[in-house]
Amino acid sequence: MKSRVQELAEKIEMSCDEFFGEMRKGGCSEPTALKIWRGDYETYDDFQDNDMNLSNLRKASFVLKVTTGILLPE
């Protein structure tokens, strides 16, 4: 099953390597970019569990040209 990030990247024809490169340019570590790519942030019990990832999710939304809310699970 694809993560939201993977689905959005596919829509704009962005490869995993391109996503990682753009995230690294924005100052995101490679392990964090990988977690975002896999959608690890999509599973949490309380919104505060995800606070440490918000700036990185903002970077991902910029890379994917979407709003940050699109990346958050419903």
Does residue 74 have a pLDDT over 90?
Answer: no
Q: Looking at residues 3-14, what average pLDDT do you find?
A: 95
Nearest to 34 by CA among 24, 53, 20, 44: 20
Its pTM stands at 0.83
Q: Looking at residues 11-32, what average pLDDT do you find?
A: 95
The pLDDT value recorded for residue 15 is 97
The pLDDT value recorded for residue 3 is 92
The pLDDT value recorded for residue 73 is 72
Residues in contact with 54: Cβ distance below 8 Å, sequence separation at least 6, in sequence order: 68
Q: Which of 16-20, 29-33, 54-58 holds the top average pLDDT? A: 16-20
